[in-house]
Amino acid sequence: MKKFLRKHWPLVVIGVFLAAATAYIFQGQKDRMAKATIQERESQEGIRLKDIHYVQDDPGQKVKWMLDASEAKLSKDQQFVTFVNFHVTLEPENRPRVTMEGKQGEFDKRTGQLLLQGDLVGHTEDGYRFTTEQAVYYHKEGYLETDRVVKISGAFFSVEGTGLFLDLGKETMQILSNVTTLIHGEPPVL
């Protein structure tokens, strides 16, 4: 081994130097890519607001909705809004209003979709309560939908299942599958 190093030491030094240079170059590229990703994310985020109140009231739509949130972030092009700790009120024309509370959400102005998630609790003005983990409100179509586990309760019953379809215009609420119904109160007299 000593003979090999004495005879070929210049090649060994050049090899170690090339390996160190290659490692340095790749590390620099990796750092540059990480910085670029952070800068892209920061440039996509336009405005950050605290304690917001937002109203979506399109004249062509039959449902007006209002959002109150502790914090919201608008994208740079102001087409995408993310928010936390929210309270949403859906107000269809001549129908009972629906209110929902949750931990976080997103609104895409281009599609009109409002994604609500995080221990979502909803109440209808006519006395029904529903809970789920996540739901999407389709503003243009006027309905709320989820494929997650849902529980609906009223004065004398509770229904549990998977999936929810709430049509605000027709005033209908459906659980889509795996439905279990409990009726509370006195049994009926036959």
How far apart CA 132 and CA 116 sit, in angstroms, is 10
- Asked if the model's pLDDT at residue 189 lies above 70, the reply is no
Q: Identify which has the larger pLDDT, 141 or 162.
A: 162
Question: In the prediction, which pLDDT does 142 show?
Answer: 85
Identify which of 35, 57, 48, 102 has the alpha carbon closest to the alpha carbon of residue 76: 48
* Residue 121 falls inside a structural domain: yes
- List all residues 6 or more positions away from 141 whose beta carbon is below 8 Å from its beta carbon: none
Domains held by the chain: number: 1
* Residue 132 falls inside a structural domain: yes
Q: Give the CA radius of gyration of the chain.
A: 28
For range 172-180, the mean pLDDT: 88
Contact 125, 110 (CB under 8 A): no
Contact 163, 138 (CB under 8 A): no
Handedness of CA 102, 97, 114, 170 (dihedral sign): positive
Question: In the prediction, which pLDDT does 39 show?
Answer: 42
For range 164-171, the mean pLDDT: 87
- Asked if the model's pLDDT at residue 4 lies above 60, the reply is yes
* Residue 106 falls inside a structural domain: yes
Q: Identify which has the larger pLDDT, 75 or 9.
A: 75
Q: Tokens 């081994």 identify what position?
A: 1
Question: In the prediction, which pLDDT does 48 show?
Answer: 87
For range 147-158, the mean pLDDT: 91
**Tokens of residue 158, six digits:** 């509770």
Question: In the prediction, which pLDDT does 61 show?
Answer: 76
**Tokens of residue 190, six digits:** 């036959």
- Asked if the model's pLDDT at residue 160 lies above 60, the reply is yes
Q: Which domain holds residue 163?
A: 46-183
How far apart CA 127 and CA 42 sit, in angstroms, is 43
For range 115-141, the mean pLDDT: 91
Contact 100, 88 (CB under 8 A): yes
Question: In the prediction, which pLDDT does 42 show?
Answer: 43
How far apart CA 172 and CA 184 sit, in angstroms, is 22
Contact 36, 29 (CB under 8 A): no
> How sure is the predictor about 1, in pLDDT bands with cuts at 50, 70 and 90?
low
Mean pLDDT of the chain: 82
* Residue 5 falls inside a structural domain: no
Residue 178 sits in a domain whose CATH number is 2.60.450.10
pLDDT per residue as tens digits for the range 58-97: 777 778 889 999 999 988 888 888 999 999 999 888 888 9
